[in-house]
Amino acid sequence: MIFLERPNENIFQTVYNGIFKLTPFKKHSKQKYSKKAEPKKFGFLTIEKKEQLKLCLGVNIKSSLIFEQALTHRSYLQVRIKEELDSNERLEFLGDSVLSLIITDYLFENYPDLSEGELTVLRTKYVSKKALLKVAEALNLKDYILLGNSAQKALKDGSDSLLADAVEAIIAAIYIDSGLEKAKYFILNKFVPAIAISLSEKNDNFKSILLQKTQQQYQVFPTYKVIEESGPAHEKEFLIGVYINDELYGTGKGHSKKEAEQFAAQYALEILK
C-alpha cells in the first residue's frame, strides 16, 4: 500500500465536488438530511452500538440517522410497513461512485507505469463483490444490518450480496456525514488493506504465480530487494523491487515486506502480460 499526500489534492477535491454538486443525489441529500427534513429515527443504534460501529469504521459518527439508513435493507421495510422509513438503496448508488473514484485515484497515483487497461483490470478487483464482502466481514456488518425475514433466510443460505451493498451504503453515509476526506480515509485504511489480503490469498498469490511464470519462461527465480524503508519504527513502510535476470520488473509498497513483495509481484505479472 502507498499513501501519498499530493500537492494537487485540492484539484482532486474540486473535480470531485464538481461532479457530485451536479448530481440529483447531492441535491437530494442536502434536503433529506437537513434538520428540517431528517428521516424518521429508527433508534437501533444505541450509544453502545454506535461506539462499537465507530471503532469498526475508524471514523466518527455525527448523525446516527444516515448510518441507520445505510444499515437498513429494503426487506426490513416490509416489517415496518406503516412507518416512513428509507432503505439503503440510494446510498448504495452514491457509495459505489465514491468508492470507484477514490480507488481509481489511489491506483492512478500508486501504479504510475500501468496502462489504462491494466489499471482497469486492477480496479475491477478492488471494487468487486468479493472485495466488498471481505470488507463486510472485517466490519462485522452481520451484527448491525437490519433485514426482513426473507433476507435473513437468504443470508443464512449463503446469499451475501446484501452485505456487499451495505458496504457501499456505509461509504456513502461517511461521505454525507463527514465529507470526502473521511470517506477516503476509511477506504484507504479499512478497504484497501482488506483487498490486499484478499489478493494475496490462494488464487491470487502473486509471488507464487510469478515464480511459476519465470520458471517456465526464463528458467530463473525472481528475486526481491528492499529499495527503501520509511516511516517510524511502529509504522514502517517498505518499497520492494522484484528482479528477473537482474532486471527490475516491478515495485510495491506495504507496511510489511511480505505485503510489499505481493504488490511488486502483481506489478511484474502485469508487465509480463
Helix axis angle, 9-21 relative to 89-110, nearest 10°? Answer: 150
What's the per-residue H, E or C state across 201-260?
Answer: CHHHCHHHHHHHHHHHHHCCCCEEEEEEEECCHHHCEEEEEEEECCEEEEEEEECCHHHH
List Cβ neighbours of 151 (8 Å cut-off, separation of 6 or more): 73, 75, 76, 162
Is residue 246 among the annotated active site residues? no
The predicted-structure confidence for 198-234, as pLDDT tens digits, reads as follows 555 544 578 878 887 887 788 888 999 999 998 888 7
pLDDT at 134: 85
Task: Single out the catalytic residue among 96, 165, 177, 237.
Answer: 96
Compute the radius of gyration of the chain from its Cα atoms: 21
Contacts 24+ apart (CB under 8 A), 3-9: 3/188, 4/109, 4/110, 6/109
CA 218, CA 270: separation in Å to the nearest integer?
16
Q: Give CATH for domain 9-199.
A: 1.10.1520.10
Residues 245/249/252/258 CA torsion (nearest 10 deg): -30
The predicted-structure confidence for 32-48, as pLDDT tens digits, reads as follows 443 333 434 456 777 88
Residues 168/170/176/180 CA torsion (nearest 10 deg): -70
CA 174, CA 238: separation in Å to the nearest integer?
30
Question: Are 9-199 and 202-272 equal in CATH topology?
Answer: no
The predicted-structure confidence for 16-72, as pLDDT tens digits, reads as follows 555 454 444 444 444 344 333 343 445 677 788 888 888 888 899 998 889 988 888
Task: Single out the catalytic residue among 92, 168, 177, 261.
Answer: 168
User: What mean pLDDT comes out for the span 94-103?
Assistant: 95
More confident residue, 76 or 182: 182
244 DSSP β-pair partners: 247
The predicted-structure confidence for 261-270, as pLDDT tens digits, reads as follows 989 998 898 8
Where are the domains positioned within the chain? 9-199, 202-272
* CA-closest candidate to residue 134, choices 67, 185, 199, 59: 199
Cβ(265)–Cβ(210) under 8 Å? yes
CA 102, CA 176: separation in Å to the nearest integer?
15
Range in 1-5, 104-108, 153-157, 212-216 with the lowest mean pLDDT: 1-5
Query: What are the distances in angstroms from CA 52 to CA 47, 133, 233?
Result: 9, 20, 29
pLDDT at 93: 94
Q: How does the average pLDDT of the chain come out, rounded? A: 77
> The whole model's pTM is what?
0.59
CA 255, CA 240: separation in Å to the nearest integer?
11
Is residue 96 among the annotated active site residues? yes
More confident residue, 77 or 52: 52
pLDDT at 121: 78
More confident residue, 191 or 222: 222
Range in 98-102, 111-115, 193-197, 228-232 with the lowest mean pLDDT: 193-197
Q: Which of helix, strand or coil describes residue 51?
A: helix
Considering the four listed CATH numbers 3.30.160.20, 3.90.226.10, 3.40.50.2000, 3.30.420.40, the one that applies to the domain covering 202-272 is 3.30.160.20
